Amino acid sequence: MRSGRLAVAALAVVAVGLLLAGCRDGDPDAERSAAAAPSADEAEAAPVASEGCGDRGPAPGSSDRRLVTAGTEREYRRHVPAGYDPATPAPLVVDLHGLTMSASLEAALTGMEALADEEGFLVVTPQGLGDIPFWNYVSAGIADDDVSFLGALVAQVGADLCVDTSRVYATGISNGGLMSSALACRLPQVFAAVAPVAGVTFLDGCEDGPPVPYQATYGTADDVLPYGGGLGAQLQGFLSANPLDASAASAGDQQDQISAIAFPPVDDTLARWAARNGCADDPVEERVSPEVVRRSWPGCDDEAEVVLYLVEGGGHTWPGTPLLGGRGGQGDGGGGGADPAAGGLASVAGRTTDDISATELAWAFFERHRLDP
């Protein structure tokens, strides 16, 4: 069991992968199981050590690194937490930026590395490709296969560091959230749980896959990837004017594909994840704060939870981030104003609550789940 930036585009962190039609099948039948919050015995379950475990290891801290996969050099940021023991397998969190963003901006947005120092887990924050960086989350043939890249990245980190391979997780914002959703679908034998923010999807072909613990955080006033479905007008305009892979597809072809994008409502997507995981049809709701509701689907197979934190009036943003000044990051009297490092990010993010921390919620969710070795 498993115990379980920048301009209008900056937070346009979109579902770009859908522009690149076609899916790559993963291995939905790979052996894998999910578990709920660990019991006392499960909490002590033996970790599964990667080949990088040994007597010596790197000094703690963040570094920029490279990996060549499928003939392409890729970049990523790696964080080794304070107190890292090269002989003790540690959990690994893959943190994925949004459209136009950088790995360094994602690290600043989420604060995942600071939490890793407190909790003792490893973090990798990879960089997407392109003049407008993005993740090809459907693994189409006209672009690099980012599903395979991220699988190779996890393997490389496991070869370099001491990773508990039963505790590898993914999160990310918008296009990064969509990518993390795709990893749950395509690589369920690698990722023990995912926690996307402001970007959720359920890919064709995922219906019959094994249960995957899935936690989403979303704002009802998101106007980039709207909660009610569709594609925000500003984002659609940006994508129409900025082909993501002009060498592979004509502007006309990309425009046709953009116009055809029709994201379903977030509720519908979460219901599909609940169905995949064998959960009850009707979710249970509880109010977490005056502006946050937690919705969960009970009775899931292998206790593979499906959870949604719904931020009423929340925008296309990362709840709790200090980079956007906390709640009301657009100057409505909340928070202290956005950090200049955020650039144009704050102008498109919308309301950012500080009632919850998407970073802390993700880690708390991850702690409850692990893969069956």
Which range is least confidently modeled, 26-30, 108-112, 186-190?
Answer: 26-30
- Count how many Cα atoms sit within 13 Å of the Cα of residue 308 in the half-sphere of its side chain: 25
Cα 113 to chain centroid, rounded:
15
Annotated domain spans of the chain: 16-367
Residue 32, pLDDT score: 42
Point out the least confidently predicted range of 44-48, 116-120, 141-145, 332-336: 332-336
**In this predicted model, what pLDDT tens digit does every residue of 136-155 receive, in sequence order?**
876 554 456 899 999 999 99
| Rg of the Cα atoms in the chain | 19
Give 40's contacts (C-beta < 8 A, 6+ positions apart). Answer: none
Minimal CA–CA distance to 81: which of 126, 51, 119?
119
What is the SS3 assignment for 215? Answer: strand
One-letter amino acid of 125 = T
Q: What is the pTM of this model?
A: 0.85
Coil, helix or strand at residue 18: helix
Predicted confidence at residue 13, as pLDDT, reads: 37
Q: Which of 371, 367, 373 is nearest to 38 (CA)?
A: 367
Decide if 178 contacts 201 (C-beta within 8 A).
Answer: yes
Token pair in block for residue 338: 């956005």
What average pLDDT does this structure show over 89-110? 95
Give the tokens for residue 123. 């973090």
Q: Which of 105, 179, 96, 108 is nearest to 138 (CA)?
A: 179
Structure tokens at 325: 């000044």
Give the CA count within 13 Å in the CB-facing half-sphere of 326: 7
- Of residues 265 and 334, more confidence is placed in 265
Q: Which of 220-234, 242-256, 323-337 is the least confident region?
A: 323-337
Give Cβ neighbours of residue 190 (< 8 Å, ≥ 6 apart). Answer: 151, 154, 168, 183
- Which residue did the predictor score with more confidence, 257 or 101? 101
C-alpha distances (whole Å) from 191 to each of 162, 195, 267, 311 are 16, 11, 23, 26
Q: Which residues of 201-225 are buried (b: 16+ CB within 10 A; e: fewer)?
A: bbbeebeebbbbbbbbbbbbebbbb
- CA atoms of 61 and 197, how far apart (whole Å): 25
Q: What is the pLDDT of residue 358?
A: 98
Measure the CA dihedral 192/150/127/174, to 10°: -50
Strands, sheet with 193-197, edge to edge from the N-terminal-most edge strand? 61-69, 72-80, 122-126, 90-96, 163-173, 193-197, 214-219, 306-311, 292-297, 284-289
49 in Cβ contact with 89 (< 8 Å): yes
Q: Is 80 exceeded by the pLDDT of residue 181? A: yes
Question: E strand or H helix at 224, and its extent?
Answer: none
- Asked which of 199-203, 250-254, 277-281 is least confident by mean pLDDT, the reply is 250-254
Which segments within the chain are labelled E, that is strand? 61-69, 72-80, 90-96, 122-126, 163-173, 193-197, 214-219, 284-289, 292-297, 306-311
Give the lowest-confidence range in 111-115, 223-227, 317-321, 342-346: 342-346
16-367 is classed CATH 3.30.460.80: no
Instruction: For residue range 325-335, list pLDDT tens digits in order.
Output: 654 333 343 44
Q: What secondary structure letter does DSSP report for 46?
A: P
Share of the chain above pLDDT 90, in %: 61
By the 10 Å C-beta count (0-12 exposed, 13-18 middle, 19+ buried), 44 is classed as: exposed
- The Cβ-side half-sphere exposure at 204, using a 13 Å CA radius, reads 8
Using CA atoms, how far apart are residues 165 and 192, in angstroms rounded to an integer? 9
